[in-house]
Structure 1
Amino acid sequence: MTVIGLDPGSAITGFGILEEHADHSLEVIDYGVLRTGPELSTAERLQSIYEQLNNLLVLHHPDSGAVENLFFQRNVSTAITVGQARGVLLLALSQAGIPVAEYNPMEIKQAVAGYGKADKKQVQQMVKMLLGLKEIPRPDDAADALAVAICHIHSRKFNQID
């Protein structure tokens, strides 16, 4: 099963694509970020995120997707723009016929690090270890997206979701 994990943002959206093999081992297929330029309007940024994600979906044909849920932030305008980016990600996955799950940060930390209040560094170290990588994936948004994908793979075993 191929899973795409997404960490939404309007300037930088992280993505991580993992393959779960029959023996339940995980293989990194691809990871990185979808970037939009500061010179773009909000509408142009959202269109760019949509197009970049669609290109990834065509390239990798994931069976399932997972997106990090928005958590309340003090900066309301940031929360709104991240929410708009999330909407575009959900739309693109849905239009591609890819089942989508959503996880909040605490669920992701629990699934990856075993502790819902783990700090960012602990989660990144566990991503590195669980995926057998030599280094922590960079940038942070890509590591976060891989954590979302790991969370989805681990969670679907318990919840019987795709």
Structure 2
Amino acid sequence: MNREPKTILGIDPGYGRMGYAVLRCSGSDAELVICGCIETPKTELHEKRLSQIANEVRALFDEHKPGRLAIEKLLFTKNQTTGIGVAESRGVVLAIAGAFNVGVVELGPKQVKQAVTGYGASDKKGVQDMVKRILKLDDVPKPDDAADACAIALAGSLL
């Protein structure tokens, strides 16, 4: 059995704010390396916002060399403009994973909740509390998008 630590990049897709988390996993242990958000200004041109996302995600791949990308599946939204931006930013991330030959795990929200808490209908606070506990953190990562990316990375590490 391969016990070498693996690096997982978790992404909570977004257009205005995309959460990311890098975990180093070995066996049943997971360590948070870094988490945060990529934020794009609403005043910037659409293509510039996507370019910023691409550059910052590429930098995460370059620096941390993940062996797997865990990304949340896109849910349909009533606001089509927001949904399209999120879908396009998600596509940027998937293209970068492909360019780096990194395997991708796509997870729905219920799958993430089930993997992290053992209950697929957990609320956000329950998921965040488990993220804090599993990663042995003093506080829940902020903002919520970063905490969500941690949960997605944790779920992706189990598959």
Please, which runs of 5 or more residues in structure 2 have no aligned partner? 1-5
Aligned match of 1:113: 117
Alignment of 1:63-102 (within 5 A): 63-102=67-106
In structure 2, C-alpha distance between the alignment counterparts of 1:28 and 1:134, rounded to whole Å: 12
The reply on whether 1:43 has 2:19 as its aligned counterpart is no
Superposed structure 1 runs of 4+ greater than 3 Å apart = none
Q: Secondary structure at the match of 1:122?
A: helix
Aligned match of 1:57: 61
The structural deviation recorded for 1:47 is 0.6
In structure 1, C-alpha distance between the alignment counterparts of 2:81 and 2:120, rounded to whole Å: 26
Pick from 5, 16, 21 the counterpart of residue 21 of structure 2. 16
In structure 2, C-alpha distance between the alignment counterparts of 1:67 and 1:20, rounded to whole Å: 17
Number of residue pairs the alignment of both structures matches:
154
In structure 2, C-alpha distance between the alignment counterparts of 1:49 and 1:136, rounded to whole Å: 24
Identity across matched positions, percent: 38
Pick from 9, 13, 38 the counterpart of residue 4 of structure 1. 9
State TM-score, norm by structure 2: 0.94
The structural deviation recorded for 1:55 is 0.7
The structural deviation recorded for 1:24 is 2.2
In structure 2, C-alpha distance between the alignment counterparts of 1:41 and 1:115, rounded to whole Å: 40
In structure 2, C-alpha distance between the alignment counterparts of 1:42 and 1:68, rounded to whole Å: 22
Please, which runs of 5 or more residues in structure 1 have no aligned partner? 157-162
Aligned match of 2:3: none
Q: Secondary structure at the match of 1:100?
A: strand
Aligned match of 1:147: 151
Output the amino acid matched with 1:86.
R
**CA RMSD after TM alignment:** 0.9
